[in-house]
A and B are shown apart, each in its own frame.
Chain A
Amino acid sequence: MQAKKRYLILLSAGASLILLFCFGGIQVPLSRRGPGRRDDHSLTGYHPGARWRHISPRQKRDSNSGLFTGRRCRMESCFNFSLCERNGFKVYVYPQQKGEKLSESYQNILSSIEGSRFHTPDPAKACLFVLSLDTLDRDQLSPQYVHNLKAKIQSLPLWNEGRNHIIFNLYSGTWPDYTEDLGFDIGFAMLAKASISTENFRPNFDVSVPLFSKDHPRTGGERGFLKHNTIPPYRKYMLVFKGKRYLTGIGSDTRNALYHVHNSEDVVLLTTCKHGKDWQKHKDVRCDKDNIEYDKYDYREMLYNSTFCLVPRGRRLGSFRFLEALQAACVPVMLSNGWELPFSEIINWNTAAVIGDERLLLQIPSTVRSIHQDKILSLRQQTQFLWEAYFNSLEKIVLTTLEIIQDRVLLHASRSSLMWNSLPGGLFTLPQYSTNLGDFPFYYAKLGTKPYPKFTAIIHMVTPLVSQSQPVMKLLVAVAKSQYCAQVIVLWNSDKPLPAKHRWPVTSAPISVIEGESKVINSRFLPYNTIPTDAVLSLDEDTVLSTTEVDFAFTVWQSFPDRIVGYPARSHFWDSNKERWGYTSKWTNDYSMVLTGAAIYHKYYHYLYTTYLPASLRTMVDQMSNCEDILMNFLVSSVTKLPPVKVTQKKQYKETMMGQSSRASRWADPDHFAQRQTCMNKFANWFGTMPLIHSQMRMDPVLFKDQVSILRKKYRDIERL
């Protein structure tokens, strides 16, 4: 019985187990153990299986170039990188052919390139080619349309099926469909085109450029209209638009529907049917009413007094409204589906515009109303930055296009998105200097870092060393004694041979001597590799400075690392009698320049001075041996849009004090002063505008001349005469 019982229990237990299995009850708790259960089907179990033995990668690369052409062109398949290797990124412009008419805009594009540092007159050295045939307007109905372009291009010996060519175009196609075809075979050429659609845009190959008007200035360019920020940032109108309405055909839908959103209070969207010859024939029921409303408002008034500006597509995707809104600090609200926005490769448009969707027109008012004040403030400022950095002159549009292509060519030395989208912008941030954000004076705050806490002094010497009591000896000792001095470099630009080593004073900071090769004045701004610090203290040999003054100036510079911080201040003014810019060294209540005879600034400006400025200006400076300090001030102010910083000093900086030096005689020379007037105007002409800005502020030590014990003052020597 006992045995039977045992068997029975075993049996029933077995039976119930089998039953459980049949119902799958046991599986349930197992499968509930979670994802670990299906571990066996891991995706990467198959991973190493992908072998690539068949074709040589080199062959594969070569086959790409045959495969991906035309609309599938990319740099990898349609561009010959080897042309750019030997001479860097150089651009060749075809010589103008006789009898070939160029529009003013195209002429300006070509001269912008020819005036840039990329230009080469030698096609053998070129990496990029630009046609001297006007391709801007490819609308067959336009008077600017160039006929027989196809034949003309094919006959060019350097054409090479368009390889490494860039073609500028503003208008393509015509009524009624406005296609994006240029009417000739562009082959392997890149397009720099306005109103390009995402469908036709070949990413990282074409460049989308803004549509600009015939009157767009070649250089300089107007500033943005924002003069000061207002908080809260709202303006009289929330959203405005004033423009044509197309009753039928391509691009008419959105503008025809705008009236739904118009409320004639803070959302004012006005259209008119009154354009073209026979508008009366096509007009619809709303036309007359619209036209009356349209005439009631002034476009300029609306533009300047609105927070947002609607930029709906026209017949083509891009419209003039875009740049107008950008300049007016009226945040563009894009309603142009499929438009590849200008310079989209590098500009993050979400920071300066609202990208709307034509399909959601009715939501636009609530969308813009939902945007927070802080965001509006930031969008508005960004419109101004982008306008001035890339759009306000034709030259900037052209240079931006070229720089974008250069970034693609020099892949590992290209700008990061931060360089393009924050002040001072990509055109002033040259990646050939460094790709490291921390090596530029512009990003310390953004990265939460600080410049290297020491400086390198560079003393420019032109007179021979005759006595140990020469002012330069005192200067050397004083500067080298500064706790922030890492190194002193003497730039020997004198015709006399270098003095023996023992004749230089013994100092704690090392002194090294560089013998200028060409002995020209610009060599003081060469980007020497031997400068180990971010800060450069530039000095003339006759400058009189104490250690305390140097220390103090350096601490001030640490707060303004992107500006020139120093002692001798000068000013510019507009001479209305002579109708030209004037230069003054008078003691006045303001200044716009700090001369580089005693100034601290970032090392990067040496590089910018040497590479960014055109050879013409630098040659002029070398020939006169004058104005290099003015030019540096022009450059830095055009980058920062800010004045330099003057620091207080112990003794008044008097040029006449240094009687015996040759430099002093230079200062006393009336020609010298006249030359500087000429320089001002030459420079302003090249920059296209006057970049210098006045300041009324001088930096003094905190307790400077305050009625407290002098012992409490850290920089007390500055007060003592």
Chain B
Amino acid sequence: MCASGKYNSRGPALIPRMKIKHRIYYITLFSVVLLGLVATGMFQFWPHSIESTADWTLDKRSIHDAPLIRLPVSSPIPERGDLSCRMHTCFDVYRCGYNPKNRIKVYIYPLQRFADELGVPISSTGLSREYNDLLSAISDSDFYTDDVTRACLFIPSIDVLNQNSLRIRETAQALAMLPRWDKGMNHLLFNMLPGGPPDYNTALDVPRDRALLAGGGFSTWTYRQGYDISIPVYSPLSADVELPERQPGPRRYFILSSQTAIHREYRAELERLKEENGEALLLLDKCSNLSQGAASARKRCYKGQVYDYPQILQESSFCVVLRGARLGQATLSDVLQAGCVPVILADSYILPFSEVLDWKRASVVIPEEKLSEMYTILKSIPHRQVEEMQRQARWFWDAYFSSMKAVGLTTLQIINDRIYPYAARTYEQWNNPPVVKWSSVNSPLFLPLIPPRAPGFTAVVLTYDRVESLFRVITEISKVPSLAKLLVVTPRKKFKCPECTAIDGLSLDQTHMVERSECINKFASVFGTMPLKVVEHRADPVLYKDDFPEKLKSFPNIGSL
């Protein structure tokens, strides 16, 4: 309203002195301006009026629009988080209910800004782009519900991805103020960068009662198996850099180390390895001549030679992912994206999504103590396996690391699998890349059973209008001792080739053969592949047509037709 005073004081004084023509002109102009003001005012204030009741929706992305909540100093702080929490003790399964789709419903709190009594916000960054992407992805997914009463899982809109930007106590207070908090029951927090200097705890330090934690960088001592979810540390390069998938195969370098914040003891050890094995190792560090910033994140140097990062990762078979101050490293994501096999040296680290992903097929885990033996260990891995791992690594990135959406939805799927274990995704679904899914054969009858003779078999005879040949078949087959039942199926159609004899069957009919060829092509295109296999062998009885007394053979009549 600050400018309206100006408008009132000048406007009326000027208008009477003007010509009518001009007056109309100005009146039109001002009314347009006024209309614009009213419209913008509406635009600005209208959404506010519904915000208090609205849920978190896509339109509400701007943190600046979110209502500000001031936290009283005395506001309650949740408990630190119980290490003994498990799904059956700290998770209220009744909220998830039984539903035919076997899918959990996830509610996202509306955006709010929190500040202490002095008005200092609880977070120095507010809502990060990453967390925003994550929430958007979830709200677009099948898991999302805007009905808080039907929800099984609650996700706060308070961004705790990076502990460094948080005021711990106030963030905890803000969590406790959430209307459905209820001791953190069924609440899910996402954190990728836990802990702070100097010790860097391996889990988020914010007290959080019974809330589930999806954390990047858990150690075996902070990870509550079957309760928490270990997630990757998202790398911003995933979105910025497009690395085309390379065919698995040999690479220029054998081992590459690209991390810049490696402890000097480990760097010394890596340099020793480099001395011993020379060209096979590429040991990169940050470029000293480049200034800090976005550009330096995309370059690596070795003895003055500059390399593009992460592109250079594609030139190596194995890429080292050493622990830093934290166990979880964003480098892991870059390495996987490049289809380089990660060599993970981070003792006690819980690998991302280890509850469902079989990391043994995509990575090599070596104890930190064995860093000096890394070269020998990696050399012992067969080439074929390295190629498998390269493919597997890239697939893991594509499916589970490539975006905040992938990270978020994978996390929810894992929780979903725990709540509806009988409808959980299978090992193959989680771990087989599409190319394997297409080409692999998983027989529904996979157990090697040799069924007993006793139940016998059921004969199913397809017949047309040829009664004579049907009776002949029935007479013959009913002599078989193992026959338990005989089913005759009669379609209403006439036999296509009445002149064909029993032996020739339909094989003499050329159009019939053409039709069948077309069928084969049609089926193959529907299956997406040709599932039939050609073999050159045939199963016969052991003594088939051997020079041996017929009466001693089990099946002497076979082939006598």
Check B393 for interface membership: any CB of A closer than 8 A. no
Check B553 for interface membership: any CB of A closer than 8 A. yes
Stretch binding the partner chain, chosen from B92-100, B464-472, B514-522? B92-100
Contact, CB under 8 Å: A447 / B436: yes
User: In the assembled complex, which residues on chain A have CB atoms less than 8 Å from the CB atom of B533?
Assistant: 559
- Distance in Å: Cβ of A590 to nearest Cβ of chain B: 6
Residue in B33, B93, B438, B543 whose beta carbon sits within 8 Å of that of A16 in the complex: B33
Residue in B86, B162, B377, B445 whose beta carbon sits within 8 Å of that of A198 in the complex: B86
CB interface residues, A 229-250, toward B, < 8 Å: 229
Check A57 for interface membership: any CB of B closer than 8 A. yes
What CA separation (Å) do A358 and B86 show in the bound complex? 14
Contact, CB under 8 Å: A23 / B40: yes
Contact, CB under 8 Å: B369 / A61: yes
Check A484 for interface membership: any CB of B closer than 8 A. no
User: In the assembled complex, which residues on chain B have CB atoms less than 8 Å from the CB atom of A68?
Assistant: 221
CB interface residues, B 1-48, toward A, < 8 Å: 1-4, 6-7, 10, 14, 22, 26, 29-30, 33, 36-37, 40-41, 43-44
CB interface residues, A 687-705, toward B, < 8 Å: 693, 695-702, 704-705
Contact, CB under 8 Å: B360 / A61: no
Given contacts A38-B127, A555-B536, A641-B448, contact A354 B421 (CB under 8 A): yes
Check B205 for interface membership: any CB of A closer than 8 A. no
CB interface residues, A 679-721, toward B, < 8 Å: 693, 695-702, 704-706, 714-715
Q: B286's closest neighbor in chain A, by CB?
A: A48
Contact, CB under 8 Å: B220 / A381: no
What CA separation (Å) do A503 and B386 show in the bound complex? 42
Check A657 for interface membership: any CB of B closer than 8 A. no
Q: A697's closest neighbor in chain B, by CB?
A: B539
What CA separation (Å) do A366 and B559 show in the bound complex? 53
What CA separation (Å) do A50 and B10 show in the bound complex? 59
- Distance in Å: Cβ of B35 to nearest Cβ of chain A: 11
Contact, CB under 8 Å: B426 / A698: no
Residue in A54, A556, A591, A705 whose beta carbon sits within 8 Å of that of B559 in the complex: A705
Q: B539's closest neighbor in chain A, by CB?
A: A697
Given contacts A24-B44, A52-B325, A714-B536, contact A348 B427 (CB under 8 A): yes
- Distance in Å: Cβ of B84 to nearest Cβ of chain A: 5
Check A337 for interface membership: any CB of B closer than 8 A. yes
User: In the assembled complex, which residues on chain B have CB atoms less than 8 Å from the CB atom of A478?
Assistant: none
Contact, CB under 8 Å: B226 / A81: no
What CA separation (Å) do A701 and B539 show in the bound complex? 9
Contact, CB under 8 Å: A15 / B234: no
Contact, CB under 8 Å: B221 / A589: no
Contact, CB under 8 Å: B544 / A204: no
Residue in A41, A57, A437 whose beta carbon sits within 8 Å of that of B127 in the complex: A41
Contact, CB under 8 Å: B41 / A23: yes
What CA separation (Å) do A354 and B538 show in the bound complex? 41
- Distance in Å: Cβ of B184 to nearest Cβ of chain A: 18
User: In the assembled complex, which residues on chain A have CB atoms less than 8 Å from the CB atom of B44?
Assistant: 23-25, 28
Residue in A48, A377, A417, A699 whose beta carbon sits within 8 Å of that of B358 in the complex: A417
Contact, CB under 8 Å: A25 / B43: yes
Contact, CB under 8 Å: B40 / A20: yes
Contact, CB under 8 Å: B440 / A447: yes
Contact, CB under 8 Å: B128 / A41: yes
CB interface residues, B 516-542, toward A, < 8 Å: 533, 535-542
Check A418 for interface membership: any CB of B closer than 8 A. yes
Check A27 for interface membership: any CB of B closer than 8 A. yes
Task: Give the size range of B's interface with the partner.
Answer: 35 or more
Check B133 for interface membership: any CB of A closer than 8 A. yes
Residues 490-527 of chain B, each 1 if its beta carbon lies under 8 Å from chain A, else 0: 00000000000000000000000000000000000000
Residue in B225, B364, B439, B542 whose beta carbon sits within 8 Å of that of A412 in the complex: B364
Given contacts A53-B263, A700-B538, contact A589 B220 (CB under 8 A): no
Contact, CB under 8 Å: B263 / A52: yes
Contact, CB under 8 Å: B421 / A350: yes
- Distance in Å: Cβ of A53 to nearest Cβ of chain B: 7
Residue in B266, B443, B455, B542 whose beta carbon sits within 8 Å of that of A589 in the complex: B542
Stretch binding the partner chain, chosen from B61-69, B247-255, B308-316? B61-69
User: In the assembled complex, which residues on chain A have CB atoms less than 8 Å from the CB atom of B3?
Assistant: 15, 18-19, 22
Check A423 for interface membership: any CB of B closer than 8 A. yes
Check A355 for interface membership: any CB of B closer than 8 A. yes
Given contacts A229-B449, A357-B88, A700-B537, contact A43 B129 (CB under 8 A): yes
Contact, CB under 8 Å: A697 / B100: no
- Distance in Å: Cβ of B228 to nearest Cβ of chain A: 12
Stretch binding the partner chain, chosen from A438-446, A538-546, A575-583? A438-446
What CA separation (Å) do A183 and B427 show in the bound complex? 40
Most buried by A among B127, B330, B537, B559: B537
CB interface residues, A 167-226, toward B, < 8 Å: 198-199, 203-204, 226
Task: Give the size range of A's interface with the partner.
Answer: 35 or more
Check A74 for interface membership: any CB of B closer than 8 A. yes
- Distance in Å: Cβ of B210 to nearest Cβ of chain A: 14
User: In the assembled complex, which residues on chain A have CB atoms less than 8 Å from the CB atom of B64?
Assistant: 27, 31
Contact, CB under 8 Å: B236 / A446: no
What CA separation (Å) do A470 and B98 show in the bound complex? 77
Stretch binding the partner chain, chosen from B138-146, B175-183, B192-200, B394-402? B192-200
User: In the assembled complex, which residues on chain B have CB atoms less than 8 Å from the CB atom of A439?
Assistant: 382, 384-385
Contact, CB under 8 Å: B235 / A44: yes
User: In the assembled complex, which residues on chain A have CB atoms less than 8 Å from the CB atom of B88?
Assistant: 337-338, 357-359
Contact, CB under 8 Å: A415 / B360: yes
User: In the assembled complex, which residues on chain A have CB atoms less than 8 Å from the CB atom of B538?
Assistant: 699-702, 704
Check B347 for interface membership: any CB of A closer than 8 A. yes
Given contacts A52-B325, A204-B220, A589-B553, contact A436 B1 (CB under 8 A): no
Contact, CB under 8 Å: A436 / B388: yes
Stretch binding the partner chain, chosen from A4-12, A147-155, A260-268? A4-12
Given contacts A31-B62, A589-B553, contact A46 B220 (CB under 8 A): no
Contact, CB under 8 Å: B384 / A436: yes
What CA separation (Å) do A641 and B61 show in the bound complex? 60
User: In the assembled complex, which residues on chain A have CB atoms less than 8 Å from the CB atom of B360?
Assistant: 414-417, 435
Contact, CB under 8 Å: A591 / B236: no
What CA separation (Å) do A587 and B365 show in the bound complex? 54
Smallest CB-CB A-B distances: 3 pairs: A448-B439, A25-B40, A436-B385
11 extra A-B contacts, CB within 8 A, seeds A61-B369, A338-B88, A701-B537: A9-B29, A15-B7, A27-B64, A203-B225, A367-B422, A436-B384, A447-B440, A449-B439, A589-B552, A698-B543, A699-B540
Interface residues of B (CB under 8 A from A): 1-4, 6-7, 10, 14, 22, 26, 29-30, 33, 36-37, 40-41, 43-44, 61-65, 84, 86, 88-89, 93-94, 98, 100, 125-133, 136, 161-162, 164-165, 192-193, 197-198, 200, 220-221, 225-226, 234-236, 260-261, 263-266, 297, 323-326, 330, 347-348, 358, 360-361, 364-369, 377, 381-382, 384-385, 388, 417, 421-422, 424, 426-427, 431, 435-436, 438-452, 455, 533, 535-546, 548, 552-555, 559
14 interchain pairs, CB-CB under 8 A: A15-B3, A35-B132, A43-B128, A46-B164, A47-B193, A51-B261, A54-B198, A350-B424, A370-B422, A385-B447, A411-B366, A447-B439, A448-B439, A448-B441
